[in-house]
A and B are shown apart, each in its own frame.
Chain A
Amino acid sequence: MRRDDSLTQHVDWWLFTVVIIMLGMGIANVYSAAYDPDHPSIFDFSQKYGKQIMWVGFSLFLGLLVFLIDADIYRKFAIPIYLFTFCLLIVVLFMPAVNGAHAWLGFGSLGIQPAEFAKIGTAIALSTYVSNVNIKQQNMQTVFLALGIVLVPMVMILLQPDAGTFVVFTSFFFVLYREGITFDPIVLRIVNTIPGVKFKETWVGSHFIPILFFTIFLSLITLLMSGNQYEFSFMPGVLIPGFYGILLTLAVIALLAYLMLRWISAKREKGRVLAIVLIGFLLSASISTAVNFSFKNLAKHQRDRIELFLGLKQDPDGEDYNRNRAMAAVGSGGLFGKGYQQASVASVESNHVPESETDFIFCPLAEEWGFMGSIAIVFLFMFMLIRIVIIAERQRSTFNRVYAYSVAMIVFYHFAVNIGMNIGFAPVIGIPLPFFSYGGSSLMSFSIMLFILLKLDSQRRDVLH
């Protein structure tokens, strides 16, 4: 076992740099979104931007602490950490409700949200658990225990209630999927009760999670888009029904995927790649068609209910107020945006978009920087997520890998749901955009999460198992 003396050696500077860029952009963005002309200084600590700088400083300090502590501690103290965050989840239920949810553990205005930290505790606990499981011999008990680690805090969070964080916890299912802890034992148990059937494994059971989520994702998009008609400015008068638009988009994605995979895959695999892409496309198209067809043939009251849930019913000043305003802000940004601090819909003074500095932080960003800003944000997150997956895959220890995947999937969920609700692809559930949204809890928890990952990664060579 070889110890490195330097703290900074083997640190993944790519990931670190992305985090720092995001924190910087986040401060600039909060300064714009929460700007108060009476307090023009960005370092005015009575203002949200001043506080955000304070939180960033504190988060970086916590990051430094994380770097000073040996990464072994997390594996060793996994259960106490998990229990500690769990206890906080219990305590918080007895705190006074803020906006109808018992989510804040307050020291006055400097409150924290235990749910944010429960993600870290759960990630560490799950990593420890999975690293001790022999995947080859997994059974129902393995699956249930793993699920339990995730589900128990989820229930506590639902009691607050905090729908956003609850949804985010389902990201751990992807981690379990990656590690091979799947629903197959359960599916097998059910399937094998049929006389004469004796499966060792089922494809559906093994890939249950991605199939489920892909189906949900595609169905949601189908439902959201198929009712609309689109007219392009370069083809005036031609109305494209939304459903064909989806099929067209799927075809384009399949073509792009094929070309990309062809380019990176070996020669002999080309036929296989084509087959996979083609099957994927046909499968997606048929899911989409099925959803579209069955939705169209639902009874009217059922359709109404679904439309209401999805926010498809036009009620821009009622139920759908927030998302309607948010989409107007994003859409009005145009190609190059309205300019820094020039947002007219999402600005704090106009107050058309509620929570524009927290859950809807993407609004001022997209309105002020336009599509160029949106590209930058999406690319930054894509880069960060792919980088974390690469980091995860180079870990020698299962613990590190599971933890890294947990971080990747949590960030991915926050990114997908938060931006999704700004562009009408996701229902409005309040979860912050990591490193951008104003707020100490999310900033600290994401920083700690990322710095633990960086620390684990920097020590990956130390680990023998």
Chain B
Amino acid sequence: MNLDGRKYVILVFIILVGIVYLARLFFMQVVDDTWKLRAAEIAEKRKEITPPRGIVFDRNGKKIVTNRSYYNLMMREDDIVDLDTAAFAELLGWTPQEVKNRFWNIRKKEGKYRNPHTGKLQENYQSQRAYPFIEELTIDEITRIAPNLAKFPGFYEDLTSMRFYPYAGGANIFGYLSEVNQEEIEEDGFYRRGDHIGRAGIERYYEKELRGRKGIKYIVTSASMNAIESYANGKYDTTARQSPPLKMGVDIDLQVYGEKLMVNKRGCIVAIEPSTGEILALVSAPSFDPNLLVGKQNISKNYPVFVMDEGKPLYPRPLAAEYPPGSIFKLVQSLIGLQEGVITESSGFPCNKSMVGCHNHPSAGNLPDGIKHSCNPYFYYVTRRIIQQGKKRSMFADAEVGLNLWADYMHSFGLGEKFDSDITGLRPGLIPNAAYYDEWYGHHAWAFSTIRSISIGQGEVKVTPLQMANIAAIIANKGWYYTPHFVRSIGNSGPLPQFRKKHYTMVESKHFAPVIEGMRRAVYAPGGTAHRASFSEDVIVCGKTGTAQNPAGEDHSIFIAFAPMDNPKIAIAVFIENAGFGGVWAAPTASLMMEKYLKRKITDKEKETRILTANLLNVKPKPKKKK
């Protein structure tokens, strides 16, 4: 028996194992990525650091939206040792049962998932993970609780930041935040459970800017989920970056003043800087302190109250409420008539009340006087000339062509369409065209006489208060406007491109003078409808009252204006529901707003008091009368 050869058997064994192991190691370490992924899954965790939300400044550099620190009381079950439920409940001011329920609720809220390997339903809740036990504690509350937490291992405080609105105004501008839902988490990889997202207003529109950039810290974690150290000495980490501040065109003092004026009223005030399209104030009444919708506790407490409130404080009236514009519409009709050449500055029409009603005033012999008196028959004739230009032999075909032309003009004033703006919840209003009436009456089955109520801003026409204010801005600019918008700059980048584009109306600027003169006379001339709108010797206000008929009750009081006449700094629309004739309530409110903005102080205290104390919420409906 030759045993010498057997040494080769042994050597072959040793070498074979060596080769196989090297091949396997090469495969595992170099070729195959399975184990690298597995290792990352086991040991490397991404920790996201959410920066505080972006700050918002008003046009005067005042901080109007900031963040305030809050504390969460965190709980990690694995660290809890012999919890004395009774003592802990006493510390929190809860009952022991509430403490027990809270533990159970945290577990329940996490839900369950189906383990893909075992097919069993398993809880998402993990005892080694930290969960907020109580959220949104104020500094006062946590200073009472925190010193005693040493007695309760497993509980600790954690700093978070939440929105704070120092001026307690502008709720309908800013909107509010709430926790993201599952759908949003799936749609946008940015969000994690518990993150907040803007739900309305600029918080929603500028969500992507305001949320900033999350920092990502790669950390190595231990088997018990503790962070150990940064991965690769932080080579792949990114720092959290807060969004650059938003600079708004809003004047927060004006906004807060407007909200004060509108207490106990329903309606809205919109003020725009005509030269830029920046919104100076956007008051929606009734309003509320935006701080009431900060944080989970506040939202769950106040949101249902607001939803149930008769006054609908969450409804953004200035953008979404579509009202018939009433007499202010006459300004636009005049401009279209002048541009179309169907009237001139010196056109006169008799106030004969045969087709539309009117109040008692002498017949207007020219356009400015027609505006001053807000003469309904006057504008009946103006609009009839626009719509029935006699271009077609058939009256119906002629009205069809005329109305469509008229509608085109209206659209060029930003009416009947939504602005491409940073305002969420905009409504388009309604400017009827031929197709619209064809639906109602049938093709060629209607003429101007059928639809004559549009001539005085009644009937089917619907305009939002924001659009009304924009009409004032267009007239102030003599024919053009920038899209009304909130934010003048993100950081220092200036307005968004769509806010730098001048929109020209179809009316040339030369036609604006008689209309502006009419608006001046409405305020200053004897017999003018809006004499309550003036506030100062040296500032000439141009205004136009409106009274929108309201079949459900008292008429709505409307007023639009701009001032000063020569160098307009503010264009404004005031809309007060059920307040009757526009000159009585809306005009003085607008004058206070303009004075506040232009002069920063109010001279006519009596006027101010009258508006501040007025309660127009429960005005009894007047018996219906024909106008």
Contacts and interface: CB of A to CB of B under 8 A. Distances in A.
Interface of A: 135, 174, 177-180, 201, 206-207, 210, 213-214, 217, 221, 230, 232-233, 249, 253, 256-257, 314-316, 324-325, 327-335, 338, 342, 344-345, 347, 349-352, 366-367, 370-371, 374-375, 378-379, 381-382, 385-386, 389, 392-393, 405, 408-409, 412, 415-416, 419-420, 423-425
Interface string B1-33: 101001101111111111111111111111111
B39 A249 contact: no
B38 A324 contact: yes
A334 B3 CA distance: 43
B440 interface: no
B29 A330 contact: yes
Contact of A366 (B14, B18, B25): B25
14 contacts: A221-B20, A230-B27, A314-B117, A316-B38, A330-B29, A331-B39, A332-B38, A335-B30, A345-B39, A350-B220, A378-B21, A378-B25, A386-B15, A392-B7
Interface centre among B7, B24, B39, B231 (most CB of A within 10 A): B39
Interface string B120-138: 0000000000000000000
Contacts of B18: 378-379, 381-382
B29 A334 contact: yes
Given A347-B220, A352-B223, 14 more contacts: A174-B13, A207-B9, A233-B33, A249-B23, A253-B19, A327-B28, A332-B38, A332-B39, A347-B228, A352-B43, A389-B14, A393-B7, A412-B13, A425-B21
Given A345-B43, A349-B228, A385-B14, A330 B223 contact: no
A310 to B, nearest CB: 15
B39 A329 contact: yes
B259 interface: no
Nearest to B6: A178
B30 A334 contact: yes
A420 B33 contact: no
A338 B14 CA distance: 29
Contacts of B26: 371
Interface string B301-335: 00000000000000000000000000000000000
Interface string B36-47: 101111111000
Nearest to A250: B20
B492 interface: no
Contacts of A367: 39
A253 B10 CA distance: 16
Main secondary structure of the interface of B (DSSP, over half): helix
Nearest to A324: B38
A386 B221 contact: no
A327 B35 contact: yes
Contacts of B23: 249
Contacts, number: 155
Contact of B223 (A249, A316, A351, A408): A351
A253 B222 CA distance: 40
A201 B1 CA distance: 10
Contacts of B29: 330-331, 333-335, 366, 370-371, 374
B217 to A, nearest CB: 14
Contacts of B41: 328
Interface centre among A180, A331, A335, A366 (most CB of B within 10 A): A331
Contacts of B6: 177-178, 180
Contacts of A352: 42-43, 222-223
Closest 4 CB pairs of A and B: A331-B35, A332-B39, A328-B39, A328-B38
B224 interface: yes
A423 B22 CA distance: 10
Nearest to B40: A332
Contacts of B33: 233
B34 interface: yes
B523 to A, nearest CB: 76
A374 B25 contact: yes
B42 A345 contact: yes
B10 A344 contact: no
Contacts of B24: 423-425
A178 B12 CA distance: 13
B623 to A, nearest CB: 79
B402 to A, nearest CB: 67
B20 A351 contact: no
Interface string B211-232: 0000000001111100011011
Interface string B523-558: 000000000000000000000000000000000000
Given A332-B39, A382-B14, A408-B10, A423 B30 contact: no
Given A233-B33, A371-B25, A328 B42 contact: yes
A424 B41 CA distance: 19
Contacts of B117: 314-315
A277 to B, nearest CB: 11
A180 B222 CA distance: 52
B9 A210 contact: yes
A178 B7 contact: yes
A381 B224 CA distance: 35
Interface centre among A230, A374, A409 (most CB of B within 10 A): A374
Contact of B231 (A201, A344, A366, A370): A344
Contacts of A349: 220, 222, 228-229
A221 B20 CA distance: 10
A177 B10 CA distance: 9
Contacts of A328: 35, 38-39, 41-43
B17 A375 contact: no
B232 to A, nearest CB: 8
A245 B17 CA distance: 17
Contacts of A233: 31, 33
Given A207-B9, A345-B42, A350-B222, A332 B30 contact: no
